[in-house]
Chain A
Amino acid sequence: MSFESLLFQAVNGFASASGLFLVAAGLSIIFGVTRIVNMAHGSFYMLGLYLAVTLAPRLGEVFGDALGFWGAILGAALITAALGALVEVLLLRRIYAAPELYQLLATFALLLILSDATLALWGPEDILGPRAPGLTGTVELLGRQLPDSDIFLALIGPIVLIVLHIVLTRTRFGRLVRAATQDREMVAALGINEAVLFTAVFALGTGIAGFGGALQMAREPANLALDLSVLGDAFVVVVIGGLGSIRGAYLAALLVAEVKALCTALGIVEVAGFTFNMSRLTLVAEFLVMAVVLVVRPHGLFGRPLPPAARRGDMEAPLAPLGQRGRFLVLAALALFAAVPLFGLVSSYAPVLALDMVIAALFAASLHLLMGPGGLASFGHAAYFGLGAYGTAYAATVLGLPTPLALGVGIITASAGAVLFGWFCVRLEGVYFAMLTLAFAQIVWSIAHQWEEVTGGSNGLFGVWPDAPFDSAGGLYLAALAVTVLGLVLLRRLVFAPLGLALRAARDSRLRAEASGIAVEKVRWLAFAVAGTLCGAAGGLFAFAKGSISPEAISVGRSIDGLVMVLLGGVHSLMGPLLGAGGLTLLQDMVMRESPFWRGLLGLLILALVLAFPSGLAGGLRRVRSTP
Chain B
Amino acid sequence: MNVSTPVLEISALTKHYGGVRALDGVSFAIAPGELLALIGPNGAGKSTCFNIVNGQLRPDAGEVRLKGRDITGLAPRRIARLGVGRTFQVASVFGSMTVRENVQMALIAARGQVFRLWAPAHRMAREEALALLQQTGMAAQAERPAATLAYGDVKRLELSMALAGDPGLLLMDEPTAGMSGEERQAMIALVRSLTRARDLAVLFTEHAMDVVFGHADRVVVLARGRLIANGSVEEVRNDPAVRAAYLGGVTPAASEAP
Contact = CB atoms under 8 A, between A and B. Distances in A.
A505 to B, nearest CB: 5
Contact of A509 (B77, B94, B108): B94
B122 A496 contact: yes
Given A318-B101, A512-B161, A518 B96 contact: no
A303 B117 CA distance: 36
Contact of B147 (A315, A498, A501, A515): A315
A514 B80 contact: yes
Contacts of B96: 315-319, 504, 507-508
Contacts of A497: 116-121
B164 interface: yes
Given A315-B96, A512-B92, A501 B115 contact: no
Contact of B76 (A318, A501, A515): A515
Contacts, number: 119
B54 A515 contact: yes
Given A501-B108, A502-B109, A509-B93, A516 B164 contact: yes
A326 B19 CA distance: 63
Chain A at the B interface: SS class: helix
Contacts of B120: 493, 496-497
A519 interface: yes
B114 A502 contact: yes
B95 A315 contact: yes
A13 interface: no
Nearest to B99: A318
A539 interface: no
A498 B114 contact: yes
Given A505-B97, A508-B94, A517 B118 contact: no
B246 interface: no
Interface residues of A, number: 35
A501 B121 contact: yes
Nearest to A518: B109
A365 to B, nearest CB: 15
Contacts of B76: 514-515
A523 interface: yes
B124 interface: yes
B97 A501 contact: yes
B113 A498 contact: yes
Contacts of B75: 514
A533 to B, nearest CB: 12
B53 interface: no
B145 A518 contact: no
B212 to A, nearest CB: 23
Given A498-B121, A502-B105, A515-B76, 18 more contacts: A318-B98, A318-B101, A497-B119, A499-B115, A500-B121, A502-B108, A502-B109, A502-B114, A504-B94, A505-B94, A509-B94, A511-B92, A514-B77, A515-B54, A515-B86, A516-B110, A518-B77, A519-B77
Interface of B: 54, 75-78, 80-81, 85-86, 88, 92-98, 101, 104-106, 108-110, 113-122, 124, 145, 147, 158, 161-162, 164-165
Interface of A: 315-319, 321, 490, 493-494, 496-502, 504-505, 507-509, 511-520, 522-523, 526, 530
11 contacts: A317-B96, A501-B108, A504-B97, A511-B88, A513-B109, A514-B76, A515-B77, A515-B80, A516-B105, A516-B164, A520-B77
